[in-house]
Chain A
Amino acid sequence: DAMVIQNPRYQVTQFGKPVTLSCSQTLNHNVMYWYQQKSSQAPKLLFHYYDKDFNNEADTPDNFQSRRPNTSFCFLDIRSPGLGDAAMYLCATSLRLGGGQPQHFGDGTRLSIL
């Protein structure tokens, strides 16, 4: 049973055209994360929500935004995608912040930029 669900699995957008990726969870976890993963690289954290508190990584471009309307859903908005934003985007959840808490990942959305 999928617990972290990402839609769509594949997304194609045009250069500069805004795109939104979605993530939902059935775990009722407090924390939701967005990672970017490029080919043959480790996931790179973009930001996370702890409940409604948004925490941006210092090196995340302003082009990337996120929304969490409720506990179950979280969205990644890319306002003006560039060619360098083509990647796999992974959503993850954890019960709480801090040590001893594994993150549970969805299967990602692969974003292509035309």
Chain B
Amino acid sequence: GESVGLHLPTLSVQEGDNSIINCAYSNSASDYFIWYKQESGKGPQFIIDIRSNMDKRQGQRVTVLLNKTVKHLSLQIAATQPGDSAVYFCAENMAVQGAQKLVFGQGTRLTINP
């Protein structure tokens, strides 16, 4: 079946550096993508989303890039802070047997080193 996956399960960066978390997806018909941040003991928290008619979207310290040609999604976090340490999930909205569903990737753990 089609799925959303991540290239790196863990990522360590120095505080203040920029980080990039990558995500590969295989369903070319997916039209909407979301990045979630999940801290320990908490639920996934919405960070940023992007529709398939866009290739870039910026938020506060975060940027999402969408490359439909190679089915690749990335989350860039600028000037990382200790509070950015979490697991990051990408998710794609896709039609599965006629129903719209959010399918999550496997997650990347981001660790910020002081």
Contact = CB atoms under 8 A, between A and B. Distances in A.
Interface of A: 4, 6, 40-43, 45, 55, 90, 92, 97-108, 110
Contacts of B104: 42-43
A102 B44 contact: no
Interface of B: 31-32, 34, 36, 41-46, 49, 51, 89, 93, 99-102, 104-107
A106 B43 contact: yes
Nearest to B6: A42
Nearest to B87: A40
9 contacts: A4-B43, A45-B101, A55-B99, A92-B43, A99-B31, A100-B32, A102-B46, A107-B41, A107-B43
| B interface secondary structure, majority | strand
A43 B44 contact: yes
Given A90-B44, A110-B41, 13 more contacts: A4-B43, A6-B43, A43-B104, A45-B101, A45-B102, A55-B99, A92-B43, A97-B100, A99-B31, A100-B32, A102-B49, A105-B43, A107-B41
